[in-house]
Chains A and B, each alone.
Chain A
Amino acid sequence: AQRVTQPEKLLSVFKGAPVELKCNYSYSGSPELFWYVQYSRQRLQLLLRHISRESIKGFTADLNKGETSFHLKKPFAQEEDSAMYYCALKGDRGSTLGRLYFGRGTQLTVWP
């Protein structure tokens, strides 16, 4: 069964500190992994996807198939990074094709 686990509901760091938001997944096929972000009073928006292997707003995420993880990292957190972050998996076959499975989200707070 498809599952995305974000173990931390809340995460707080000080400005300038490194931050890592954890995500583990369970899927039998070849999933596509994403991180979505939702800033206060804004819509859910894509932050990055694993196949792009890009850095957005200083965030990176590497897919580790051996550990079935897709952790989000940033070396120096900024106050404007405070938001809710969701890890998501997109199915690649049958009825799961195109469907996103979300974790419960991690609320990141960056203190000044």
Chain B
Amino acid sequence: EAGVAQSPRYKIIEKRQSVAFWCNPISGHATLYWYQQILGQGPKLLIQFQNNGVVDDSQLPKDRFSAERLKGVDSTLKIQPAKLEDSAVYLCASSYGGLGYTFGSGTRLTVV
């Protein structure tokens, strides 16, 4: 079974630039999550999708972050404009009804 795919693995950008991350969940997993993991902290949920609908985006800084999952499969997380404090690993995870919770390898973002 293929795992959760994420790209790119690494990204370095200057502050105020924009960046996008892509996630392909496990086939058949209706629920998709984006987590932010800042160095020295545990992952924190940014947004949760059920198919292509948003279940929870209460922790998403909506003034600069956006996410979409148009066809209920792949998802994109965007930051525009980026700030220094956005430097983190962005993890995508998927599950089927809360079961089989699987994480991707993450995208490490450095904002300079």
Q: Do A and B bind each other?
A: yes
User: Of all chain A residues, which has the CB nearest B56?
Assistant: A95
In the complex the two chains form, is B103's CB within 8 Å of A44's CB? yes
Shortest distance between the CB of A80 and any CB in chain B (Å): 20
Which residues of B in the span 32-71 have a Cβ within 8 Å of any Cβ on A? 33, 35, 40-45, 48, 55-56, 58
**B10 CB-CB contact with A under 8 Å:** no
Size category of the B interface is 20 to 34
The tally of residues in A whose CB lies under 8 Å from a CB in B reads 20
Number of A-B contacts (CB under 8 A): 49
Chain B residues within 8 Å of A105, by CB: 41-42
**A98 CB-CB contact with B under 8 Å:** yes
Shortest distance between the CB of B72 and any CB in chain A (Å): 16
User: Of all chain B residues, which has the CB nearest A46?
Assistant: B101
User: Of all chain A residues, which has the CB nearest B4?
Assistant: A43
Q: Which 3 A-B pairs have the closest CB atoms?
A: A102-B42, A98-B98, A44-B103
